[in-house]
Structure 1
C-alpha cells in the first residue's frame, strides 16, 4: 500500500510548488489538491462535518494552476485532484487541462472527480443539484472520448458536441486514472459505470462497501482512501482490504504546521510498517 497526502492549496499557506517538493522528498507517493471555485455566502447547505465551514474552502488557488505548480516542482510525485468538481466545469476545457498536466508531468496525473455537496455552489455554475450525478457521468464519458479520439463526438442529455479536435492527448493511455469520490448510496454504481477506482473519504462503513465493490466488479477496480487517520491499526485494516493508497489531509498553513502534520502521518506509517515486518 502506498501513502499520500491531501491539501487545500490556499494563497495564505505553504505554496503548491514548495509543498510538492517537500512531499516528494519525504517519500510520499501522491499529493491531492481540493477544489472549490467559491463558497456561496448564503451558507444554506450545511457543512458535512458540522459546525462552521473552515475558511480554507473559499481561499484555494485554482485547482489546475496549483497542480501545474506541483507537477513542475517535482519529478516522481503523483499529483491529482481530490476532488475536481466536474459538475461545475466545462468538460472540453477540463479535458484539455487534464491532458496538458498529464503531458507536462510525464504521466503523473490522477483525476479524482465528484459531484460535491454544496448545492448553492452547483447552482451558481448552472447545474441543477437534482441531476448532478447524470451530469457527472456524461462529462466524464465526454472527456474520455476527447482523450481517445482524434475526432471526438459525444451526444448526451447534458453534454453534446460533434466532431472536435483537441490536443494534446494524455501521456497515460487510454487516460489518467479516473477516481470516483464520494460515499453516498449510489457511489459504487458510478465507480462501476465509469471509474477506474473508488476514492472515498475514510469512514468505518467503507470496509463492507469495498467487499461489495469487489463482488460486483467484472474488471479490475482500484480503491484509494482520502482522510485516513494517522492510526497504524486503521492502516493495517486498509492494507488487508486491498486499498492501493491511503492519504491523509495536511493542515493548510505555514511550513512548520505542514511539517507537524506530515510527521504525525509518517509516525503512523512507520509504526504500521514495523508491525508488518
Structure 2
C-alpha cells in the first residue's frame, strides 16, 4: 500500500532540520512498525489515501532539540492542526472532552522520554504546509495585549472590592474581594479534584481495555485483563467438571477391581 506523511508534519520536520542541523534523529519516526500496525495508531496510514498523521522527533537537548521546551511551545501555539502531543510521561489533547490543551499524565506503556510524539488532526489541515509558529524558530507572533478592563457603569461604580457585606453563614462581615477570592480558590480546588478523578477513570479504562501480551513462552496471544479473567473463570469451571468426571471414573474403576478380587 502506498503511503505518505501528512504535509504539515513534513513542514515541521524540515523546520527542525534547518534550525538544528546537528540534531540526533535516532528516535525519529513516521510510519509505524508491526506492533503499531496491530493496533489503532496515527503512525498507521489510515487517513485518506494512505496518510500517516503522526511523527516522532528525537530528544537531543545538547543540539537544541529539547522536547520539554518544544512541546510547551507547540501547546502554547494552539495550532489547530494539533490533535495531541505526548512527551516525558504526559499527554496534551486538543479535542473537546479530553481536557483540551491541558497536560495530563500519560498511562501508555511508552512514556516518550527519548522523543516526543505529535499527531495532527485527520482533516484537511493535516496537509496544511504553512510553517509552524514557534519561538524556537524565531517566527512566533507576540501575544496580543490584554483588552483594557471596561469602565464601571453608574449602577456598580459604588461597589468596591473592600466593601463589606454580612456573611449569611456566620453573620460576620466579609469584603467583596475576599468573597470572590474564596470562590475562585474553591473553584480551582474543585477543578483539580475533578481532574484527578478523570485521570483515575482514564487509567482504569486503559487497564480494562489494554491488550496485555501472554506471559507463556512462545504464545502470541494477547487480551485485556477482563478477557484473561473471563478465560480463567471458564477454564476453571471446565477443569472442575473434568475433575468430577475423573473422580467418578476412578470410583468405577476401584469398584470393578474390588469386584474382581472377590
- Shared topology, TM-score over 0.5? no
Q: TM-score, structure 2 length as denominator?
A: 0.22
Bigger Cα Rg: 2
Q: Relative contact order: is structure 1 or structure 2 higher (C-alpha 8 Å, sep ≥ 6)?
A: 1
